[in-house]
């Protein structure tokens, strides 16, 4: 909680003051900033590195990157075209509009890392060893967890 409060002043308030036209989301120590151009993103990254150094922090080199959000209106090719945030992978995907026409959209889906964690967790439940339990008992035990996954990723 103290780290969140610290980042409220060290990051959130700083962003509002220094980059008022750049929307952002932050959850704990993870953040996504929405820049309009690559040059704006590079400038923000440079100033953000200096700001974090000023307050005694540093950006994670593997998690800090400028990502090109390709959709039907953007045609360029760039090295980084996806990112993970809060268990989701954001990348270009083929979508369908209400009239059934396909288009390219930058949208989230469960990340490979999160899906793997769910698979491991469900394997840890050892279903074959629970054959002595009634189906209702198994449902009572596991449905809240499964429903939580559905609510979050569904």
Cα 21 from chain centroid (whole Å): 21
- Return the pLDDT at 125: 93
- Return the pLDDT at 87: 96
Three-state DSSP state, 109: strand
Max intra-chain CA distance, the chain:
62
pLDDT, tens digit (0-9, with 9 covering 90-100), for 92-136 = 999 999 999 999 888 999 999 999 999 999 999 998 888 899 999
- Return the pLDDT at 22: 97
pLDDT, tens digit (0-9, with 9 covering 90-100), for 17-62 = 999 999 999 999 999 999 999 999 999 999 999 999 999 999 998 8
Q: Determine the Cα–Cα distance for residues 94 and 88; give it in Å rounded to an integer.
A: 17
Averaged pLDDT for residues 123-152: 94
- Return the pLDDT at 128: 87
């Amino acid at each position: 909680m103290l780290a969140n409060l610290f980042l409220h002043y060290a990051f959130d308030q700083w962003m509002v003051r220094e980059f008022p036209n750049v929307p952002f989301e932050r959850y704990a120590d993870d953040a996504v900033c929405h820049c309009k151009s690559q040059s704006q993103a590079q400038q923000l990254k440079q100033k953000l590195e200096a700001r974090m150094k000023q307050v005694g922090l540093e950006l994670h080199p593997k998690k800090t990157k400028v990502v090109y959000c390709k959709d039907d209106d953007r045609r360029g090719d760039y090295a980084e075209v996806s990112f993970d945030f809060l268990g989701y992978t954001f990348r270009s995907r083929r979508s369908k509009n209400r009239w059934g026409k396909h288009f390219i959209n930058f949208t989230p889906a469960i990340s490979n890392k999160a899906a793997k964690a769910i698979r491991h967790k469900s394997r840890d439940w050892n279903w074959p060893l629970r054959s002595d339990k009634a189906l209702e008992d198994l449902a009572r035990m596991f449905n809240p967890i499964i429903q939580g996954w559905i609510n979050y990723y569904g």
